[in-house]
Amino acid sequence: MRELLDDIDRWKAAGKRIALARVVDIEGSGPRGAGAAMAVNEDGEVIGSVSGGCVESAVVTEALAILAGEQPSRVVTFGYSDDDAFAVGLTCGGIIHLFIQPMEW
């Protein structure tokens, strides 16, 4: 998250609402470890990455839904190949668990 701070500061100063997505756990092979983070503001601007490109666009959709109040803050899992609602594959075959929340702290 270190690398996101300058942009987060700028967004906060501009009064933008921000959703923060952080990898909290990975199972098997994963491109980024726990703590990898990205942030999305209410205008859909995106900084950071959580997987090296595999799931970022799905995370943006989730983050915007959370900012819009359509979804609560929660853990979202990517990488299951079954009929999980958030089934977006990771090319490496791993599973990542992300926590996505509005940044209200």
Partner 1 sequence: MAAYQIFSSRVRDNLPVSLATIIEGPNVGATLVVTPEGAQGGTLGNADIDRVVTRDAMGELEAGRTIVRHYGPHGESTPEDLVDTETVRVFIESFSPPPLMWIFGAVDFTAALARVAKVLGYHVTVCDAREIFATKRRFPMADEVRVTWPGPMFEERGTRLGPRDAVCILTHDPKFDVPAIQGALATKAGYIGVMGSRKTHAKRLERLAEVGITAASDLARIHSPIGLDLGGRTPEETAISIVGEIIAARTGREARSLGASDGPIH
Binding of residue 64 to partner 1 (CB under 8 A): no
Nearer to partner 1, 2 or 14 (CB): 2
Among 11, 22, 50, 62, binds partner 1 (CB under 8 A): 22
Using rule CB under 8 A, residue 68 touches partner 1:
no
48 binds partner 1 (CB under 8 A): no
Residue with tokens 């990455």: 49
Q: Contact, 73 vs 102, CB < 8 A?
A: yes
SS3 53: coil
Q: Which of 102, 104, 96, 103 is nearest to 49 (CA)?
A: 96
**Partners of residue 50 on adjacent β-strands:** none
How far apart CA 39 and CA 46 sit, in angstroms, is: 6
Residue 5 or 68 having the CB closest to partner 1: 5
- The yes or no reply on residue 73 touching partner 1 (CB under 8 A) is yes
For partner 1, the closer of residues 12 and 61 by Cβ is 12
Paired strand residues for 26? 96
For partner 1, the binding residues (CB under 8 A) are: 1-2, 5, 8-9, 12, 22, 24-25, 29-30, 33-35, 72-75, 92, 99, 101-105
